[in-house]
Amino acid sequence: MVLGLSLPAFTLLHVVLSLIGIATGLVVLAQLLRAMASGLWTGIFLTSTVLTSVTGFLFPFEKFLPSHAVGILSLAALATAIAALYGFHLRGGWGRTYVVCAVLSLYLNVFVLVVQSFLKIPALHAMAPTGTEAPFVIAQLLTFAVFAFLGFRAFRKAVVVSSETA
């Protein structure tokens, strides 16, 4: 039992929060690429992604795992993004800081999605049973490349927006 839920029910909650975070994060990323923002989509993205990371620490474990390191990094990036957005209102360099931290948080969530997909989907697991095989490595490198490219473009938009409004 975790938070009064059976482990399968808690796992489902965690997965649903993660998928909401990814879906809304992609909407937010698309908006960042157009130098736009929606408080509703952003709020849902940040909240669900924080809850995804927090609930990840509530699973039973006996030792520190790589997933815990990803969770800590994600929560640090999210805390910074939240401070940049709600505390500093994206003024000055905080706009660029927000973009970097928001995109990093989304990337980490998708990174974990790829890992879990290779662990849980039989066809993918058969291609990379240990997570060190070429299909897994290629999938993660492509994921990183896409997010690095889109994150850079969003960062450049944030620079343009902040210089125009400064």
* DSSP codes, 22-57: HHHHHHHHHHHHTT---HHHHHHHHHHHHHHHHHHT
**Core vs surface per residue 9-25: b (16+ CB within 10 A) or e:** ebeebbeebbebbbebb
Where do the structural domains in the chain lie, given as residue ranges?
7-165
Structure-block tokens of residue 128: 């990379």
Backbone torsions φ then ψ of 90, nearest 5 degrees: 60, 20
pTM for the structure as a whole: 0.92
CA-closest candidate to residue 99, choices 35, 14, 19: 35
Q: pLDDT 10s per residue in the chain (166 long)?
A: 888 999 999 999 999 999 999 999 999 999 999 988 889 999 999 999 999 999 999 999 899 999 999 999 999 999 999 999 999 999 989 999 999 999 999 999 999 999 999 999 999 999 999 999 999 999 999 999 999 999 999 999 886 555 554 4
Backbone torsions φ then ψ of 37, nearest 5 degrees: -155, 145
How far apart CA 21 and CA 107 sit, in angstroms, is 11
